Amino acid sequence: MSLDLIAVRQQVEQIARDAGALVLERFHQPLNIEFKHRHDVVTDADKASEALIVAALMDAYPTHHLVGEEGGGQGAPADEAEYFWYIDPIDGTANYASGIPTFTVSIGLGDRDDNALVGVVYQPTADELFSAAKGHGATLNGQPIHVRHTPDINDAMLGIGSPFGAKAAHYSEVATGVRGVRGFGSAALHLAWVASGRLDGFFESGISRWDVWGGMCVVEEAGGVVTDYRGERSPKMLNGEAFLACTPGIHAELRRRLAPLSP
């Protein structure tokens, strides 16, 4: 059954705003912080946000499969579903738990062929909602957005994830000879800012589907390119490994610089 992607986008925008209002209200209150791993935290706000989003999506789309960062696979069985939701209830949880205001709610819709159909990224502290539906463009608070025209890497502002371990050296190689490098701690926010022309590119490895599926559609509908480090739309990239999103003018140069990092 085909979906009315415009209607789905509008509905998911409201769900993201509702979840954003919840996490924003709790942002200023004492948080219950738990450790998934020693350096990976989750708060009660993450869980409450995901519960709100999952309940709304399951009510509206009972035949769809959902994958949430905190609750894992939910809804209709994955082997029966035609559509798949990837939910990050707070992308940038470490920021959120530390009182840093760069965090987002990220919700993405894909089909069985891993086409990005709808994406919504909402930053509650800025009240900025980025959204897109395949074939219908990308917007920021309802106004059209497009990637910046940046043909020369020397003029590029790049967003990066957490460079660590053996890859830190490579990150520094990639991030030389550019206008600037910034890390805001939320993949979805980086992607939204690539789509709106605030950043010219973003790359990171070792993240997850739920981190990137809300922003991926927004970047693609804003005229950006989303591939792995070798320029392919690979399963690894769709799962948040070797993930690269940028304005087309610097894609070839970023691929050349990132190739040594490719897993």
Q: Which stretch binds ligand LIP (CB under 6 A): 10-18, 26-34, 204-212, 216-224?
A: 204-212
CA distances in angstroms from 132 to 98, 106, 177, 223, 254, listed in the order given: 30, 12, 32, 11, 25
Q: Name which of residues 105 to 164 contact ligand LIP (CB under 6 A).
A: 161-162
Among 70, 200, 211, 241, binds ligand LIP (CB under 6 A): 211
Amino acid sitting at position 113: D
Q: Rank residues 93 and 247 by Cβ distance to ligand LIP and give the closer one.
A: 93
Q: Which stretch binds ligand LIP (CB under 6 A): 53-61, 92-100, 126-134, 223-231?
A: 92-100
Is residue 91 part of the contact set for ligand LIP (CB under 6 A)? yes
Question: b/e for 152-178, b at 16 or more Cβ within 10 A?
Answer: ebeebbbbbbbbeeebeeebeebbeeb
Task: Give the CB-nearest residue to ligand LIP.
Answer: 187
Q: Rank residues 27 and 76 by Cβ distance to ligand LIP and give the closer one.
A: 27
Quote the CA–CA distance of 124 and 109 in Å, as a whole number: 21
Q: Rank residues 20 and 161 by Cβ distance to ligand LIP and give the closer one.
A: 161
Among 187, 216, 217, 244, binds ligand LIP (CB under 6 A): 187
Q: Which stretch binds ligand LIP (CB under 6 A): 71-79, 132-140, 173-181, 182-190?
A: 182-190
Q: Token pair for residue 119?
A: 């994406």
Is residue 207 part of the contact set for ligand LIP (CB under 6 A)? yes
Quote the CA–CA distance of 142 and 197 in Å, as a whole number: 16
Q: Name which of residues 42 to 71 contact ligand LIP (CB under 6 A).
A: 69
Question: b/e for 236-259, b at 16 or more Cβ within 10 A?
Answer: bbbbbbbbbbbbebbbebbbebbe
Q: Rank residues 20 and 249 by Cβ distance to ligand LIP and give the closer one.
A: 20
Is residue 88 part of the contact set for ligand LIP (CB under 6 A)? yes
Other C-beta atoms lying within 10 Å of the C-beta of residue 260: 12
Is residue 74 part of the contact set for ligand LIP (CB under 6 A)? no
Residues within the interface to ligand LIP (CB under 6 A):
69, 88, 91-94, 161-162, 185-187, 204, 207, 211
